[in-house]
Chain A
Amino acid sequence: MALGLRWSGSGAFFATEIRVQFHEWLAIVTGTLTPGALIVFVAILAADLLPVTLIGALVYSMFLIGQRVLNEAAYIRIDHKLNELYHASPLSPEGYFVGIAGGMLVAYLPPSLVVLGILELIHPLGLVAGLTLAVCLLAVWAVSSTIGYVVSTLFKDMKTIWPYSALLTNLFGILPPVFYPLSKVPIEWRSLVLIVPTSAAAILVNAAAGLEPVTRQEGTVAAVALAAEAVILFVFGIYWARRMARER
């Protein structure tokens, strides 16, 4: 058991969360509106950038899962007190955190699969690009889920949390070069966007797909930053979940 991790009950809790989300299918559909609108805009205004935007939509959707985690974890804790029901049970705290994060990942995957299908039609990905995409999306999921879960535990009122959800989405999903290529970013800002997890993921996938070349140094910085952020944050998420299972 690495890090003394305990996963008792986590599979069932993960399945519970998927079931809850599928009952809220409209939220899954509406989650596609922002990336969908951006894809339409780009298709009309700059069709040659469409593959970049589609990859951006995949990264954005993955980051959005973190916001779903934030809302769900806060809602079931503040409004329903279900965290107490589960924490006072054999389900481990890490199983609770990963159950919510994993449940959101699976439930919100179908729209991303549609986007992936469109991308395959327009700009088929090779094996390396496909693997890069999968690994980068997983890393973004780990980062955003942890941020979402940790933020969800910091407040006592849902209304206080909503602005943070919007702030994080715009700060990580819209502002950095996720939907647009790195080359559009002024040179003095590039080193910063390389370490932002969402733009790092988009930059790496775009490069692997042959859409936007990056220098070896830029690629290394983005890859190391994303990997380090994903691992460090996810481990912190597990630590935080254990801590939050018991208030002080």
Chain B
Amino acid sequence: MTEEALLARDVRKVYRSRKGLGVEALRGVSLSIRRGERVALLGRNGAGKTTFLRIASTLLIPTSGRIHAFGFDVVDEPERVRPLIAVVPQEGKPFFHLTPREQVYCYLRARGFARDTARARTEEALAKMGLEEVGDRLSVTLSGGQRQRAMVATVMATEAPLMFLDEPTIGLDPFARRAVWDMLRELTQKGSTVLLTTHYLDEAEALSERLYIVEEGRVLFEGTAENAKRQIGGTLRVSIEDGGHQRNLFQAFGQLVEEGNALYVITGPERIHEIMDVALRNRLSATVGPVTLEEAFLTIVGRSIDAE
């Protein structure tokens, strides 16, 4: 087996409609994930994240390009790849007429686990996801968050060498999200590799060792969250309430990011006094804080949108 858990080269996907029109979902995505790594794939809705995950997990055939999982081609050798992977599908739900305990156990059995192992792993996964109390209730009676936890528990219990999680914590409360994070960290410590998509950038920052930002089917950024923040031209963020209407006042001080009426100036510590001075003179309320991954994301993706 190779060093990389996942290696993608120039992956393209065009969805063709019946009228022959094509939607280019991926335009040459290349990435590599080492064994035991946790990597986040970030991007706006429709950026191509789910398409990539579905191709990598053998569920979709690319138009061109290659993806290898542990050295096996996901297109030509799906039978060899599938035992090595597990997927939490986006908006997936457990069988409503199974209990979480049955759901996890039955899935493990279908993957070929022996009864005793399946039973032990089921109990462990339910405990870790805080589902013991509702473990014997039909999923149809559970809340949306509990169902999502059951889905995550189902996949995590496999301890598959490579896991794809498409927005695994959507709809989860902060405690449950952290339980998922802990479980993912534990799994990677045991040797599993994780590729996840999320719209929660705090999650991506807390969880992933590296991240890829994709936009319109292309990789815009690859690196750590810290690299992403550094790349946008500053370490501090000045938030200016109602500053969106006064962009021209702050253009000289750094990278500008607009969000509604608010304006964020990404800058270095040496310009803070000047910016605050301008804000006060113009009776604008301003606060200073460290740059977050969200700003980095908005800036990197925003640049790409502006460029187009």
Q: How many residues of A contact B (CB 8 A)?
A: 30
B96 CB → nearest A CB, Å: 8
Are A79 and B93 touching (Cβ within 8 A)? yes
Given A80-B92, A82-B92, the answer on whether A87 and B109 have CB atoms closer than 8 Å is no
Which residues of the other chain, B, contact A126 by a CB distance below 8 angstroms? none
Are A247 and B60 touching (Cβ within 8 A)? yes
Which residues of the other chain, B, contact A86 by a CB distance below 8 angstroms? 107, 110
Are B78 and A85 touching (Cβ within 8 A)? no
**1/0 per position for A6-41, CB-CB distance to B under 8 A?**
101100110110011101100000000000000000
A89 is an interface residue with CB less than 8 A from chain B:
yes
**1/0 per position for B44-78, CB-CB distance to A under 8 A?**
00000000001001111100000000000000001
A18 CB → nearest B CB, Å: 10
Contact with A19, one of B78, B83, B102, B158 (Cβ below 8 angstroms): B102
Given A80-B95, A84-B92, A88-B59, the answer on whether A19 and B106 have CB atoms closer than 8 Å is yes
Are B111 and A88 touching (Cβ within 8 A)? no
CA A179 to CA B83, docked complex, whole Å: 47
A91 is an interface residue with CB less than 8 A from chain B:
yes
B199 is an interface residue with CB less than 8 A from chain A:
no
A156 is an interface residue with CB less than 8 A from chain B:
no
Chain B, interface size: which category?
35 or more
Are B95 and A89 touching (Cβ within 8 A)? no
B196 is an interface residue with CB less than 8 A from chain A:
no
A184 is an interface residue with CB less than 8 A from chain B:
no
- For A80, give the chain B residue with the smallest CB separation: B93
Contact with B110, one of A9, A23, A81 (Cβ below 8 angstroms): A9
Contact with A246, one of B59, B86, B97, B102 (Cβ below 8 angstroms): B59
**1/0 per position for A33-67, CB-CB distance to B under 8 A?**
00000000000000000000000000000000000
Which residues of the other chain, A, contact B61 by a CB distance below 8 angstroms? 246-248
Are A12 and B106 touching (Cβ within 8 A)? yes
CA A9 to CA B106, docked complex, whole Å: 10
A76 is an interface residue with CB less than 8 A from chain B:
yes
Which residues of the other chain, A, contact B87 by a CB distance below 8 angstroms? 84-85, 88
Which residues of the other chain, B, contact A88 by a CB distance below 8 angstroms? 57-59, 82, 85-87, 164
Which residues of the other chain, B, contact A13 by a CB distance below 8 angstroms? 106, 110
A161 CB → nearest B CB, Å: 18
Are B98 and A85 touching (Cβ within 8 A)? no
CA A164 to CA B146, docked complex, whole Å: 34
- For B99, give the chain A residue with the smallest CB separation: A23
Are B59 and A84 touching (Cβ within 8 A)? yes
B137 CB → nearest A CB, Å: 11
CA A12 to CA B103, docked complex, whole Å: 12
Interface centre among A81, A86, A245 (most CB of B within 10 A): A81
Q: Which 10 A-B pairs have the closest CB atoms?
A: A12-B109, A23-B97, A81-B89, A81-B92, A16-B106, A84-B89, A88-B87, A12-B110, A9-B110, A90-B83
- A residues with a Cβ closer than 8 A to B are 6, 8-9, 12-13, 15-16, 19-21, 23-24, 76, 79-82, 84-92, 245-248
List 17 additional contacts besides A87-B59, A88-B82; criterion CB under 8 Å. A8-B112, A9-B110, A16-B98, A19-B98, A20-B95, A80-B92, A82-B95, A85-B155, A88-B58, A88-B59, A88-B164, A89-B82, A89-B158, A90-B83, A245-B78, A246-B61, A247-B59
